[in-house]
Structure 1
Amino acid sequence: MSLKTTKTWCIRLIPVVLFFVSYYFSQFFLQSYSRSPKNPAPSKTACGSWLVAKRWESLNFNITRKTQLFLKMADYFWKQHQSTLPLPYGIKGSELFLLKVLAITASYEMPASIENLDCRTCVVIGNGFAIKNSSLGAAINKYNVVIRLNDAPVRGYEDDVGNKTTMRLFYPESASYNPSIHNDPDTIMVLVPFKQNDLRWLKEILYNEKRVRKGFWKPPPQIWMGSTSQIRILDPFFLHQTAGTLLHIPLQPRKNQKPIHPTTGILAVFVALNYCDVVHVAGFGYPESRNQNQPIHYYGRDTMRSMRDSHHDLSHEAEALKRLEDSGAILFLHPHS
């Protein structure tokens, strides 16, 4: 066989070789994350077109990676952005509180070190008992963005949940009085305003005004030692979309109907889907409702009994997470039911 013929055949074989290499790596990645409870953090390979195409294949809502997650002052200078719904799904009636809060917070952006990444790998850490004894801590710390919820602790649980925190979503009743205890110094503290009193609480903290204690289902911290420069206000658009598009729950319940709102956890997953190229989750899932004595968190002693009067539909959210998992939009880092 001549040198010219050999060269021609080699050129023809390149696409075939590339196809099998790509297929092998994609299968290896998916299998490793579905079988092993101790997984390495994803590399840039995970952002390949094969995963991006798969994860949105069966989802019925539009998501863009170039998303502004947080409210900014400029949002209030354009009439077309005025909201028709009150909190938690809009800002109608809360504009004054928001303006005062946004006037004193220093930034509305994500850090440039994350914004400028070619591939954003994110993990959302739920507070569920399922992550206990998982030994996922080291893997969790390798993600570009680690999102945590409410006042879930880190110190003392590093082996299972890691100790890196990029963003923490919270509301007043779930705020820790001193965020520095369980967060990094540069952790972005993202307030999720479910009601007008949530914004009023933050305004009183920021301006050192007299605290109004009424209007909360649980007393929030009267002293909050968070850094002003790290505070962000999540755009209610994301709660609106989580409720209406992902969970299909009524945004305006009928008279005498108990309102149902998304949990902070499912909201964080939806936010991550909007912002990240790769979304993995851990610590999600509640025990069966009939098992009222089963612990629900990897910390503390709360059981399913504490969820009886909540404004959440946990089984409905579990179904939504299953749809996201089946579509390839998210991957669990540990076995789950």
Structure 2
Amino acid sequence: MRPQFVDKQWEQGKRMAIYGLAFLIMTLLILYSSNSTADLYSPFRDSHDVHRTVHNTNLKKWAGKDGYVPVYGNKSMNLRCRQCALVTSSSHVLGTRAGDEIDRNECVIRMNDAPTSGYESDVGNRTSVRVVAHSSVFRVVRKPAEFLNRSENAAVIFWGPASKIGRAAKGTLYRLIQRVSMTYSNLSFFIISPNKMQKFDKLFQKETGRDRKKSQSWLSTGWFTMVIAIEMCDNVKIYGMVPPNHCGRLPQPKRMPYHYYKPRGPDECLTYLQNERGRRGSHHRFITEKQVFARWAKLYNITYAYPTW
């Protein structure tokens, strides 16, 4: 009978060893997953991070109307609003039925070639200001019925390097913008001046502690639009922007198109994470920018909807 007792002890010990090994493996996997996830959504780091210093900027004092150069005529960028809606291009706005609420705001701000036609119930119909990157100029002017004919007395602000859209360069993009501004005299067209563009770069460095060029970063249209909204609005409600830690949450967020009007486009979180960690070439630092936006919300009467922060 003794050998049978020994066999039972051996079997029991073997089972305990297997359970212990399984527990150890699961623990390591959880720790690895947690560390990897945290690393993914934390702001990007580079070789200069050891000496990184962040300074808050008073954007109300930083703002200046002289940085917006009229493309045609002598118009000035002097729009002031008590309550603004900033509508992002995120697919998080779909299904919100927030269109009427957005249109009730004194001013409505949109970005690039984000349309309203077909999406009115979720994003509204009015546009007071549209901020357009140099890379989106062709997409905007190619559909004047959508982006230029639907808005009365709206302002269109173009941003980009002076070599692309600067008056002195007189390149293809500038001539196109100039021709459009002469055709649609009911709208006001502005280009952010080279000096103002440099101020935006310096603002990024002050708020993040990182030199934009050395860190191979490219400011997003969202960065310019957020600053412009703070300049012109007393209160800003932002629709569709996710918080900086959104893509690192567990369980992982469901896949969402990066743009609400491109259902087959790239996944939002994948786009954010690839840009945040990109090292070859220049990349948008979406998550780092959102870290700054979270701080600004406490200073400039900014609230977030769909999702709320």
Instruction: Describe the shift of the 1:285–1:163 C-alpha distance in structure 2 as closer, same or farther (beyond 3 A).
Output: same
1:284 and 2:241 matched: yes
SS in 1 for 2:247: coil
Instruction: Describe the shift of the 1:224–1:332 C-alpha distance in structure 2 as closer, same or farther (beyond 3 A).
Output: same
Letter in 1 for 2:165: D
1:191 and 2:148 matched: no
Deviation readout 1:62-98 (Å, 9 max, x if unpaired) = 42497416434xxxxxxxxxxxxxxxxxxxxxxxxxx
SS in 2 for 1:277: strand
Distance 1:242 1:179 in 2: 33
Instruction: Describe the shift of the 1:320–1:207 C-alpha distance in structure 2 as closer, same or farther (beyond 3 A).
Output: closer
Aligned pair count?
227
Distance 1:68 1:266 in 2: 17
Distance 1:148 1:69 in 2: 22
Query: How far is 1:263 from its partner?
Result: 1.0
1:325 and 2:297 matched: yes
Query: How far is 1:293 from its partner?
Result: 5.2
1:203 and 2:174 matched: yes
Match of 1:218 in 2: none
Deviation readout 1:202-259 (Å, 9 max, x if unpaired) = 3332567xxxxxxxxxxxxxx9996255211124255235423334431441xxx5x2
Letter in 1 for 2:284: H
Distance 1:202 1:63 in 2: 31
Instruction: Describe the shift of the 1:173–1:160 C-alpha distance in structure 2 as closer, same or farther (beyond 3 A).
Output: same
Distance 1:275 1:204 in 2: 28
Letter in 1 for 2:247: E
Match of 2:146 in 1: 181
SS in 1 for 2:236: strand
Match of 1:79 in 2: none
Distance 1:131 1:263 in 2: 19
SS in 2 for 1:335: coil
Q: 1:303 aligns with which of 245, 248, 266?
A: 266
Instruction: Describe the shift of the 1:245–1:139 C-alpha distance in structure 2 as closer, same or farther (beyond 3 A).
Output: farther
Q: What TM-score comes out, normalization by structure 2 length?
A: 0.62
SS in 2 for 1:298: coil
Query: How far is 1:325 from its partner?
Result: 2.9
- Larger % of strand: which? 2
Query: How far is 1:171 from its partner?
Result: 2.3
SS in 2 for 1:273: helix
Q: 1:125 aligns with which of 87, 109, 115?
A: 87
Q: Is contact 2:134-2:165 (8 Å) kept?
A: yes
Instruction: Describe the shift of the 1:204–1:243 C-alpha distance in structure 2 as closer, same or farther (beyond 3 A).
Output: same
Q: Percent of aligned positions with the same letter in both sequences?
A: 20
Q: 2:112 aligns with which of 150, 155, 172?
A: 150
Distance 1:167 1:318 in 2: 21
Q: Is contact 1:128-1:297 (8 Å) kept?
A: yes
Distance 1:282 1:181 in 2: 20
Match of 2:210 in 1: 249
Distance 1:328 1:224 in 2: 32
Instruction: Describe the shift of the 1:69–1:332 C-alpha distance in structure 2 as closer, same or farther (beyond 3 A).
Output: farther
Please report the RMSD computed on the Cα atoms of aligned residues, expressed in angstroms.
3.3
Match of 2:222 in 1: 265
Match of 1:40 in 2: none
Q: Is contact 2:57-2:203 (8 Å) kept?
A: no
Match of 2:30 in 1: none
Unaligned regions of 5+ residues in structure 1, if any?
Answer: 1-57, 73-101, 209-222
The structure with the largest alpha-carbon Rg is 2
Distance 2:296 2:127 in 1: 24
Q: Is contact 1:150-1:168 (8 Å) kept?
A: yes
Unaligned regions of 5+ residues in structure 2, if any?
Answer: 1-54, 276-281
Query: How far is 1:148 from its partner?
Result: 0.4
Q: Is contact 2:86-2:237 (8 Å) kept?
A: yes
Q: What TM-score comes out, normalization by structure 1 length?
A: 0.57
Q: Is contact 1:71-1:233 (8 Å) kept?
A: yes
Deviation readout 1:296-326 (Å, 9 max, x if unpaired) = 2222122235564662112212212222234
SS in 1 for 2:238: strand
Match of 1:227 in 2: 184
Match of 1:55 in 2: none
Query: How far is 1:153 from its partner?
Result: 0.9
Instruction: Describe the shift of the 1:158–1:70 C-alpha distance in structure 2 as closer, same or farther (beyond 3 A).
Output: farther
Q: 1:61 aligns with which of 58, 75, 95?
A: 58
